[in-house]
A and B are shown apart, each in its own frame.
Chain A
Amino acid sequence: DAGITQSPRHKVTETGTPVTLRCHQTENHRYMYWYRQDPGHGLRLIHYSYGVKDTDKGEVSDGYSVSRSKTEDFLLTLESATSSQTSVYFCAISESEALGDSPLHFGNGTRLTVT
């Protein structure tokens, strides 16, 4: 199994508070991704990274920011959490060098509830 650890696994927070989710990999892969999973929507890409300090937006990036200061860590921050950000968040990594034919390897997810 790919070495991907997400923390925390569960979090409950109040509307308006900042929240940071962490993804840590031991595979030294270049590409890292944050997805959210919601019923009826499958997985939607929030942000991704193609190297240290290199990040870009996905399809649902509003209200989220990311940082990658080391190859192994990719942080997702909700600047001011809202109830619409209640979701399960998955980090994924890819060994691909942008070829697209390599699969994603996923962490076990973080269940975030915003009250």
Chain B
Amino acid sequence: GNSVTQMEGPVTLSEEAFLTINCTYTATGYPSLFWYVQYPGEGLQLLLKATKADDKGSNKGFEATYRKETTSFHLEKGSVQVSDSAVYFCALSGNTNAGKSTFGDGTTLTVKP
């Protein structure tokens, strides 16, 4: 079956530091890949997505590239802010499973001023 493995947290960075959160996946076929962000007390929100190999998703300074050869979709940001503190989830969705998504365990990011 499908699975997503995320870098374990928590991750603590200083403001303006470089961020990488690793994500690798196992899936049959050609899944779409997503990063979601969750702020305290809220549901998950889509951060970015990529639907085919070599696609790069980007939003709010975050980027991730769909690497089929390494089955990875690592999240990066060049300069984090305190407001980026949240839980980040990597997820995949296959095109033959009614849109059901498989999620990683989540990585908690804390950015200190």
Contacts and interface: CB of A to CB of B under 8 A. Distances in A.
Interface of A: 4, 31, 33, 35, 40-45, 48, 50, 56, 58, 90, 92, 94, 96, 98-109
B76 interface: no
A56 B106 CA distance: 25
B103 A106 contact: no
Interface residues of B, number: 28
Interface string B44-62: 1110010100000000000
A62 B49 CA distance: 31
Given A31-B98, A41-B105, A42-B105, A100 B31 contact: yes
Nearest to A98: B98
A48 B99 CA distance: 10
Return the 9 tightest CB-CB contacts between A and B, nearest first. Answer: A106-B43, A100-B95, A42-B103, A103-B46, A100-B93, A42-B105, A101-B32, A43-B103, A96-B99
Contact of B98 (A43, A48, A107, A108): A48
Nearest to B29: A100
Interface of B: 4, 6, 31-32, 34, 36, 41-46, 49, 51, 89, 93-101, 103-106
B44 A90 contact: yes
A108 B99 contact: no
A108 B104 contact: no
Given A96-B99, A100-B99, 12 more contacts: A48-B98, A92-B44, A100-B32, A100-B93, A100-B94, A100-B95, A100-B96, A102-B99, A103-B34, A103-B36, A103-B49, A108-B42
Contacts of B31: 100
B95 to A, nearest CB: 4
A101 B101 contact: no
Given A100-B32, A108-B43, A45 B100 contact: yes
A4 B26 CA distance: 30
